[in-house]
Structures are given as structure tokens and as C-alpha cells.
Amino acid sequence: MPGNTFGLKLSQQFITIDVLSTVWKMADDGGLDGLWLFDHFATLGADPSGDVYEAWTSLAAMAQATRRIRIGCLVTGNTYRHPGVLAKMAVTVDHLSGGRLDMGLGTGAGLEHAMLGVPLGSPAERIDRLAESCQVLKKLWTEPAATFQGRYYQLTGALANPKPVQRPYPPLWIGGSGQKRTLRVVAEHADAWINGNRPGEDPGELVKLSRVLDQHCKDIGRDPAEVRRAVQVPLPADANETVRVVGAYLAAGFRDVIFMLHGAGDSVVSAAKAATAVLPRLRALDLD
């Protein structure tokens, strides 16, 4: 993966497929590195009843609508799908994209559980499920026949072919900020850590969490440098402010910056244009 990367996250709510497709193509043609969406079955914000498209079927469309940009979901709710099903979905998208999938995963939360009757579980249970899911995914992606006996998930000679285009598997991005347990799971399983549900958090506060992650890595004998640090931040309205904000995160050790776009229609398209327009200035920060 390159030194610093810059991406867009456009959540597929309160928006049309035409606008989504326009922004996807714009990001791909404009030279951005990553293109992300979210994973919810009801819209976020004051009105949960708006239109929202499902994440992984949208990712399959995104894979076909783009040619070079990396794609993914920040983050997939682990509680919404059995990891065996998710492993198969992810491999399909990895093949459709020619090996451009980044696998975002989190513990899961939200209105979906209550309205659909999906058990949520305690925070501790959700973290334990996440840890097991990481193991299940990796086994299914790498082993000819996978067996796993966990508390929440079990596999018995499970077949999962084809294997991913990317070997050994798509990079695993884990979102979350819990210092004792979630960041331990990140240290054990993730290729990249993303700042959970606190977009735009002060770089100084994120550095503190990053140091906790460093210690977890050291405790298990892993080089902390093996885990990339990513941040998602609302796209500033002004290009100079964008450069300032990005520079602060890069200086703090966060190598992957993802701009969150909000709104609908022309406002989102304009924001995507602004992100691609400022990209050369952000690339220049690599040279500092």
C-alpha cells in the first residue's frame, strides 16, 4: 500500500443511484485512492425512515462501475451477517473488482437490531463475536476446508471457493475505539485501524488511542508498524482548511485520510469535485 492515501466515503442514504454512480466514477477518474460506503438498514440522523441501499450489493455495483480505485465498507456491522456468509460475499466483490476490496469490519450497533429482531448482545459479547469473525473469515479465505469451534461461530470442514484474488486475503480494516478490548482485537487481526464512530476527532486524542494500540501490538509480539492508522473526517468546505486538517492527521501518524461527504444531489457531486481538485496539494504533503 502507498505511503499516504486519500479516499471518499459517501453513505448510500437520502440519495439516488444516479448520484452514487456519478460520484463513484468521479472518484475513480479523479485519482483518489479509496471509495467507501456504510452498512445500515435504516437511515442515520433525525429521520430513520429515508431511503437507504444495502451495503454489499452496492459494493458489487461499485466494483463494476470503477476500474482502479480501492473499495470497501466503513464498517461492515459484524452482527448483521454470519461471517461464513460475509466471507463469500467479500470474495465475490474481490473478484468483481479484480482484487480492489478493503474489508472493513466493526462490532455492529444501531436501530437495525430492534426493528429486525436481530440480537445485539452486550458490548463485551459484540467484541468477542468480532474477534471470532476475524478468525472465521481468515480461515475460510485461506484453508481448503475450515474447521473452527468458537463460542458464537462454528465451522465443520467448511468449503469456501474460490479464494480471494488478493492473497492471503483482502486487507482487514477494523473500526473501534475501546482501549482494553477492541484495540486488542485490532492488534491481533487488523491490517488497518479506523477511528470508529468518532469522525473528525482531534489528532491528539487519536494519538493517545494509537499509542494504546501500539502497546497491544507489543504485548502480543507484533510490530505496531504493521497496522496502518486511518481517519475519517468530514470534508472541510475550504481547500486551504482541507490541506491544514490533512496535514495535522498525517503529522500524527494517520496515513489514510477518508473524507466523509454529506448531503444529496448536486451538493454531494460538488463536494466530490472539491475533493478531487485539492488532491494534488494533498499528494504534495507526501514530500514534506
CATH number (domain holding residue 232): 3.20.20.30
Rg of the chain's alpha carbons, rounded to an integer?
A: 18
Tell me phi and psi for residue 70, to 5 degrees.
-80, 150
How many domains is the chain partitioned into structurally?
A: 1
Grouped pLDDT means (10 residues each) for the chain, 288 residues: 89 96 97 97 91 97 98 96 98 98 93 91 96 98 98 98 98 96 98 80 91 98 98 94 95 96 89 97 80
- Please tell me the pTM assigned to this model: 0.95
Q: State the amino acid at position 83 in one-letter form.
A: P
Output the pLDDT for position 111: 87
Residues of the domain holding 217: 5-287
* CB within 8 Å of 30: residues ≥ 6 apart: 272, 275, 276, 279
